[in-house]
Amino acid sequence: MLYGVLTLLLIGTILVYFRIARRFNIVDVPNHRSSHTRATIRGAGVIFPLSVVFCSVLFGGINPLLIIALCAISMVSFADDIKPQQAGIRFAIHILAVTLAMYVLNVYVLWPVWIIVFAYIIALGLVNAFNFMDGINGITGVYSLVALLSMWYINHSINTFTGDASLLCPAIACIVFLYFNFRKKALCFAGDVGAVAIAFWLIVLSILIINKTHSYKYLFIFSVYSVDMVFTLIKRIILRQNPLQPHRLHIYQLLVSNGGYSHLKVALLYGLLQLFINIFLFTTDLSFGFYLFFIVLAGCAFYLFFERRYRVKQAISIK
């Protein structure tokens, strides 16, 4: 019953947001780097953080400080959707939100200092990875839904680490969002607020999983995004490009722009690849080092194959 109420709330919220966005011209206007061709409502991913707020009201069980951290990181991201904000301000809020989450989840008590340092790097990297990877229709919603349902499986079949509502509420938000976004011509985009907020909440859930299972292998639930992000970053450094400048060198971008694949096929490809990796994680009990070696090796092969194939195709077309 409460999940039905939540679904109606989220549908109503996104429809109201459409009217607000049109009224205040919160739209994404395509440019030479865009993968879309018409102005589209931006920031509809606001229903992701709102789904967690609604979850807290309807079901309870979520620490208020986590809600504050989520709202803070969402608000600065939404402000950036409306008008570009200074990178330093955004980064500072990201650090503060992650710090608050780690405090609430007892990371500073339970984890060694050297792991905490890496945790900051991974958390901030994931926030930016979700933001950078949100460039085609469906990819953020599909990938986040795979992550949330995978975590729901862990919660039910491996080790209970949280209440179902904290997983299912944002999953329902993903489904509602995908109804409007998973289309050849999307009616809306998630915007920074959607990508950053869902990434932050997935980080919170990941910390809960690690605290409960004492296994870091579940970080590989984000391995497809991580591989694309890291290898693209390495490539840009090799090419002596500014890593902070916008570009179209991610594999998903090459598949769409140079490979001719539709947004929806590429989004499903990323989701299915991650799902297969997650099934592998759930059905095996190997060392963290083995998972790291296997996924890095497989990810390297995947990246180099597609990057070389479609980069060469682009070079030939230019000639």
Would you place residue 317 in the very low, low, confident or very high pLDDT band (cuts 50, 70, 90)? very low
Least reliable range by pLDDT among 218-227, 256-265, 300-309? 300-309
More confident residue, 221 or 238: 221
Question: Tell me: the pLDDT tens digits for 88-105?
Answer: 999 999 999 999 999 999
Where residue 58 falls among pLDDT bands split at 50, 70, 90? very high
pLDDT at position 319: 30
Average pLDDT of every residue of the chain: 91
- Spell out the long-range contacts of 280-285 with Cβ–Cβ below 8 A and sequence spacing 24 or more: 281/217, 281/218, 281/220, 281/221, 282/150, 282/153, 282/154, 282/157, 282/158
pTM (two decimals)? 0.93
Q: What beta strand segments (E) does the chain contain?
A: 27-28, 40-41
The CA distance from 308 to 65, in Å, is 46
